[in-house]
Amino acid sequence: MTPFKERKSDRRRFLKIATLSATGSLAGAAAINRISPALLPEELVFDANQSLWARALPPAHRPLDQDTETEVAIIGGGFTGLASAYYLKRSGWKGRVMVLEARRCGHGASGRNGAMLLTMTEDRYMAWSGDPALDKRIYDLTVDNIRRLQALEAEFQSDAEIDPVGALQVCNTVEQAEQARAFAEKARGAGLPVEFWERDQITEAVGTRAYPGALFDPHSGQLHPGKLVRLFQTAAEGEGVEIFENSPILRVAPGDPARLSTVSGKTVKAAHVILATNAFTSKLGFLRSATVPIFEYVACTAPLSDTQLDSIGWRRRIPFNDSRTEVFYLGLTRDNRIHIGGGPTDYVFNNGLSVPPHSGLRFARLGEELRRIFPSLAGVQFETTWNGLVDYSLDGTPSLGQLPHTPNFYYAIGFSGHGVNLTSLFGRILADLVRGRAADWAWLPYLNRLPVYVPNEPWRSIAVDAATWYYRWSDPKAP
Ligand SMILES: Cc1cc2nc3c(=O)[nH]c(=O)nc-3n(C[C@H](O)[C@H](O)[C@H](O)COP(=O)(O)OP(=O)(O)OC[C@H]3O[C@@H](n4cnc5c(N)ncnc54)[C@H](O)[C@@H]3O)c2cc1C
């Protein structure tokens, strides 16, 4: 038998070694996390936008071809960049405002998305946040933004195919349908007009019988993303905004003024800089730990014939998304094409921008899901397929504001696949921030908060892979 004294000192020695090795591992992990951005510089790549929506983009603007100075430089010509430029000038801002876009406006997510025009934010959409009064205020704000988009469409007589016909979030299981029913009741109590729909109601509206229940939001809808980019370009230029395309910014040196350098060696000095670069923001050295850029895939059919349309029975053009974490979403365009996006996603090491080689498998999965939802489309092929980067924050919460140590830099990030409507609202708020009107938006929980911290490589890939594996394992399977 081991004497008691010796056993006690053994245990102490063991605890000491365990504590030292745990502390050492943690310190090592933290050190790797700290130095990894310096060891692994991120690559700036812009692939071609192959989407259906890109066909509606107007001819390219000229690139920036000389050194210049401006009061406001906006990097990125997606919805966020173009809307902030437009609203800033529209508010009476006298100074020069320029948009610098790496490729074409709408090159990023704004020209590649699933076209669902949604109320709310990703973290609050069809979800209970615990603060019904705030939820209602944010809901009303996002509904109001959809009306503003329609007003802009009317003012500039530029049809962006905005159809606020409502949107469905369909449930994949009976259990989820029961939860949705309870949510709808609670939401209505809080003043949100969300409805619970039974299977027959879903079938009557969109044809499929694949889902046992759904939540319907009457104020959401759909639009043509390429045409909305075009509308914002027209509106911004009408107010005097200058747009430069094919002008990628390579480096940004903060300061007052900040100095922006293009790939072709031109310099822009700017008093204010709006980072409207979404999933590409980390490439400029900002907000590296804010979001994870995830590849999503979308596929679209040619226009369906009347017979094909009749066979599926999608009578009301209501877009819908399902209730999986790796969500599928579908829409029916005005020219009768069906587009389906989502499903399995991809993350590329070190926020990589090179499209994963197995994207063919992703499109095949979209085809499989389309045939499951609408079996009568068994022989229909996709005419167009594309990918896009989504800037996911860890909790799905978007953020916007002024950077803590460089307040003449403004950002909006973390839309998490829910930005078609929200980006132009946030663009309007960014314009207010530049004008010194932050107090008007102090109530908004997304203002001047930074998203939940995302660790650097290699921990980022490990965490994303683990989360993806978990979602694939736990998401409801096709019945
Ligand atoms: C596949 C997919 C499906 C989606 N579906 C939906 C949906 O159905 N509904 C919904 O609400 N949301 C959806 N989203 C999300 C939504 O599209 C985005 O939240 C929104 O478009 C983001 O707009 P943005 O202007 O902030 O960013 P982006 O549109 O990505 O614009 C950023 C721009 O910055 C440019 N840029 C980047 N770096 C530089 C640089 N260094 N120099 C110059 N320019 C630069 C890029 O070229 C790009 O044009 C989807 C996104 C994707 C990818």
Domain harbouring 64, CATH code: 3.50.50.60
Question: Does residue 17 fall inside a structural domain?
Answer: no
Q: Ligand 1: which residue has its CA nearest to atom 14?
A: 417
Q: How far apart are CA 2 and CA 223, in angstroms?
A: 77
The finding on whether 80 has its CB within 6 A of some atom of ligand 1 is yes
The finding on whether 76 has its CB within 6 A of some atom of ligand 1 is yes
The finding on whether 245 has its CB within 6 A of some atom of ligand 1 is no
The finding on whether 280 has its CB within 6 A of some atom of ligand 1 is yes
Query: What's the CA-to-centroid distance between 279 and ligand 1, angstroms?
Result: 7
Confidence of residue 2 (pLDDT cuts 50, 70, 90): very low
CA 115-120-125 angle, to 5 degrees, is 90
Confidence of residue 395 (pLDDT cuts 50, 70, 90): very high
The finding on whether 248 has its CB within 6 A of some atom of ligand 1 is yes
pLDDT by residue (tens digit) across 421-454? 999 999 999 999 999 999 999 999 999 998 899 9
pTM, entire model: 0.95
What does the pLDDT read at residue 290? 93
- Tell whether the model's pLDDT for residue 298 goes beyond 80: yes
Atom of ligand 1 nearest to the CA of 44: 41
Atom of ligand 1 nearest to the CA of 387: 1
Query: What's the CA-to-centroid distance between 112 and ligand 1, angstroms?
Result: 8
Atom of ligand 1 nearest to the CA of 321: 8
β-strand pairing of 382-392 with 292-301: antiparallel
Taking all residues of the chain, what is their mean pLDDT, rounded to a whole number? 94
Question: Does residue 47 fall inside a structural domain?
Answer: no
Q: Which residues pair with 217 in a beta bridge?
A: 167
Question: Does residue 9 fall inside a structural domain?
Answer: no
Question: Does residue 8 fall inside a structural domain?
Answer: no
Query: What's the CA-to-centroid distance between 297 and ligand 1, angstroms?
Result: 14
Query: What's the CA-to-centroid distance between 312 and ligand 1, angstroms?
Result: 31
Question: Does residue 447 fall inside a structural domain?
Answer: no
What region, left, alpha or beta, does residue 378 occupy, with left being phi > 0 and alpha being psi -120 to 50 degrees? Answer: alpha
Are the beta carbons of 399 and 446 closer than 8 angstroms? yes
Atom of ligand 1 nearest to the CA of 419: 19
Query: What's the CA-to-centroid distance between 460 and ligand 1, angstroms?
Result: 21
Residue 88 structural domain: 53-441
Which distant-in-sequence residues (6+ apart) come within 8 Å of 427 by Cβ? 79, 80, 81, 82, 83, 84, 85, 86, 87, 276, 412
- Tell whether the model's pLDDT for residue 117 goes beyond 80: yes
Query: What's the CA-to-centroid distance between 377 and ligand 1, angstroms?
Result: 30
Atom of ligand 1 nearest to the CA of 82: 25
Nearest to 432 by CA among 73, 154, 83: 83
Query: For the chain, how big is the Rg over CA atoms in Å?
Result: 24
Nearest to 85 by CA among 247, 234, 292: 234
Question: Does residue 473 fall inside a structural domain?
Answer: no
Number of domains in the chain: 1
Q: How far apart are CA 65 and CA 264, in angstroms?
A: 8
Question: Does residue 420 fall inside a structural domain?
Answer: yes
Are the beta carbons of 347 and 293 closer than 8 angstroms? yes
Confidence of residue 16 (pLDDT cuts 50, 70, 90): confident
Which distant-in-sequence residues (6+ apart) come within 8 Å of 135 by Cβ? 120, 124, 128, 129, 190, 192
Question: Does residue 43 fall inside a structural domain?
Answer: no
The finding on whether 78 has its CB within 6 A of some atom of ligand 1 is yes
Q: How far is CA 77 from the centre of its chain?
A: 15
- Tell whether the model's pLDDT for residue 5 goes beyond 60: no
Which distant-in-sequence residues (6+ apart) come within 8 Å of 460 by Cβ? 292, 350, 351, 454
Atom of ligand 1 nearest to the CA of 79: 25
Cβ–Cβ contacts within 10 Å for residue 460, how many?
20
Q: How far apart are CA 249 and CA 75, in angstroms?
A: 7
Cβ–Cβ contacts within 10 Å for residue 453, how many?
9
Residues constituting the chain: 479
The finding on whether 417 has its CB within 6 A of some atom of ligand 1 is yes
Confidence of residue 8 (pLDDT cuts 50, 70, 90): low
What does the pLDDT read at residue 478? 57
The finding on whether 419 has its CB within 6 A of some atom of ligand 1 is yes
The finding on whether 278 has its CB within 6 A of some atom of ligand 1 is yes
